[in-house]
Amino acid sequence: MCLRVKGCVVFALVALVLLPLGASGDPIFRIGTEAEWRQAILDGRVRGVPGAVFEQMVAEDTQWPDEYRYASFFDVFLEVAPNWQGEPCLYMAWGNSQVVGERVAGAWDYVYPQDPNLGQNVIEFSIFPPVPSTLFSLNIIDQFGNYREWIWHADVPGNPLGEVPAGQWATLVIDPVTGASNWPTFGGSPFIHNVPGMPPFDLGSVRILRFDENILGRQGDLFPDGPFGPLPDGWVWNAWDHVAVQPEPATLLLVGGGLLALARKRRRGK
């Protein structure tokens, strides 16, 4: 009898801890396999952002660095590559022949079916920025259109400034509450944009995770081929291996004594 009572108490405590995660939509997810990427595109959770929408977003806040404010913005082509540098991934391509040598930007969204609370969680994703002098960012967008923005710069591997290495996979982990990132950020980020007349940014009602890249338009052999071969001049590409929202390690220890611990994928060379 005593053992049954103890078991019920433990179960109840775990249930109470887990309950807030799904109260307004469960924030926890992971997309990383070829099948998961294809399904996410099919059901609309992963979708391209119209260039005009991304351009308007940047134009409305002067906190974006000039590399974004004076870029050209394009719709993106999304496809799933079964294997790129050892990983299945989301392939993104954008641009046109009129912007050779100029900065071009494109973005894709992960759209939550509901508006969950991202508190007590971390966001993790892996990116393959193909060339140096690449900027990429993450936006957490709430139900009112407010967002919190992180920007990073990719450069040659081993750059003393500590930027994300170009030409290889890199995994980034972000704490949406404190703003901390495992790689140094760029351009005064993270920063918060609040839509005039709306309640301030609310991490408790997140609707979209927006991922983007800003890069110089392809110039012939100066830009490497991607998973689907060469692109026309002015076009560029990048790749995203996985994206996940998962509980903070401290939360995992609290819940079930580590039974729900996540096995993070770590790559050689990190």
264 within domain boundaries: no
263 within domain boundaries: no
Cis peptide before 184 (omega within 30 of 0): no
Give the per-residue pLDDT at 225.
92
Helix (H, G, I), strand (E, B) or coil at 191: strand
224 within domain boundaries: yes
Best CA proximity match to 239, nearest among 211, 210, 220: 211
43 within domain boundaries: yes
Q: What is the chain's pLDDT, residue by residue, as a tens digit (270 residues)? A: 444 433 443 333 333 333 333 345 789 999 999 999 999 999 999 999 999 999 999 999 999 999 999 999 999 999 999 999 999 999 999 998 888 778 999 999 999 988 899 999 999 999 999 998 899 999 999 999 999 999 999 998 888 778 999 999 999 999 999 999 999 999 899 999 999 999 999 999 999 999 999 998 876 667 899 999 999 888 999 999 999 999 987 543 333 333 233 334 434 344
Q: What is the tally of structural domains in the chain? A: 1
Give the per-residue pLDDT at 117.
93
Q: Which domain, by its residues, includes 21?
A: 2-258
211 within domain boundaries: yes
Give the per-residue pLDDT at 20.
39
Give the per-residue pLDDT at 88.
97
Helix (H, G, I), strand (E, B) or coil at 13: helix
> Which residues lie below 8 Å from residue 121, measured CB to CB, with a gap of 6+?
27, 28, 176, 245, 246, 247, 248, 251
* pTM score of the predicted model: 0.83
Give the per-residue pLDDT at 101.
79
268 within domain boundaries: no
Give the per-residue pLDDT at 82.
97
135 within domain boundaries: yes
Give the per-residue pLDDT at 233.
85
